Amino acid sequence: MFSELLKQYNTDGYAVIEDFLTDEEKEIEKVTKDMPEKENRALFSTTNSSVTQNKDKYFLDSGDKISFFFETDAIGPDGDLLVEPILALNKIGHALHELNDVFREITLSVRVKETCFQLGFEEPVIPHSMYIFKNPRHGGKVVAHQDASYLHTDPVKLVGFWIALEDATVENGCIRFIKGSHKGGIHRRYIRNPDKFSEELLIYDSPPPFYQKSAFIPVPVPKGACILIHGQVVHYSEANRSSKSRHAYTFHVVETKDTKYSEENWLQPPEGKQFLHLYKN
């Protein structure tokens, strides 16, 4: 199995593993019971810079917490929810893999360790994790990007595990990839703003590149499947305007042996701590 998986991963920049999860390996109701008060509700969007995490310390400080991020059209100007709470969320992050027992068990499973071993990771750590909702009619578009723009290492050795907790279809916003685009280097970086006097805490170091929409291939997957995503492959997902949600759990693994994790990355380990080691836990 792994020989074919590695071939697809190395050729296309992504690969699909069917039946990666069992049905019981999902938990969201318990997490969403701890809804934040409205003054702690952060909006999340990849398309509107005026409401993104760029100016939001809540986002910047979320690396070692379980934090809640809402869709831009789900919250009114006074912070009140305009839809049911479970339909308002964009994502929960970014330390589910450390602080939630269910997600920790999934992330540190033998399946994940074996996959990373086959990919050649020797000292892998997990910087962050997210539960992504992509709720019906409100699930926002995720613009075309490369994961290594956000979690950069030198040299780049980064893989994302994107696990479908519900069927991901063309209609409800499955991921779309440009095959082979991982071979073209990193197109731009998302970094901590070196200008300490700017209200923008996080910035891109260059304008967004143009990607031909026709170059993207949709990759629908059934519930329980996992998509391995190379750190440099270009991918995006459309907004979900269908009546069916597209929940997913995702996390990233980076190599620490003979690599340098960038001090410019938005996500940094808390002072005095290190990212969770995959093989040692």
Q: What's the confidence (pLDDT) of residue 124?
A: 98
Residue 40's pLDDT band (cuts 50, 70, 90): very low
Question: pTM for the complete prediction?
Answer: 0.90
Assigned fold of 2-268: Jelly Rolls (2.60.120)
| pLDDT for the residue 28 | 57
* Rounded-to-10 torsion of CA 86, 91, 93, 97: 80
In the 8-state DSSP scheme, what is residue 141? Answer: P
| Extended beta strands in the chain, E state | 14-17, 42-43, 66-70, 89-94, 124-126, 129-132, 142-145, 153-154, 158-164, 175-177, 190-192, 202-204, 217-218, 226-230, 235-237, 248-255, 260-261, 276-277
At 83-113, the pLDDT tens digits run 777 677 888 889 999 998 888 999 999 999 9
Strands 235-237 and 142-145: antiparallel
Quick: pLDDT tens for 213-236. Answer: 999 999 999 999 999 999 999 999
Query: In 3D, which of 224, 126, 228, 225 has the Cα closest to residue 177?
Result: 228
Cβ neighbourhood burial of 45 (10 Å; 0-12, 13-18, 19+): buried
Band of pLDDT at residue 67, cut at 50, 70 and 90: confident
- Backbone phi, psi, residue 274, to 5°: -125, 160
Provide the pLDDT for residue 27: 56
Query: What pLDDT is recorded for position 83?
Result: 76
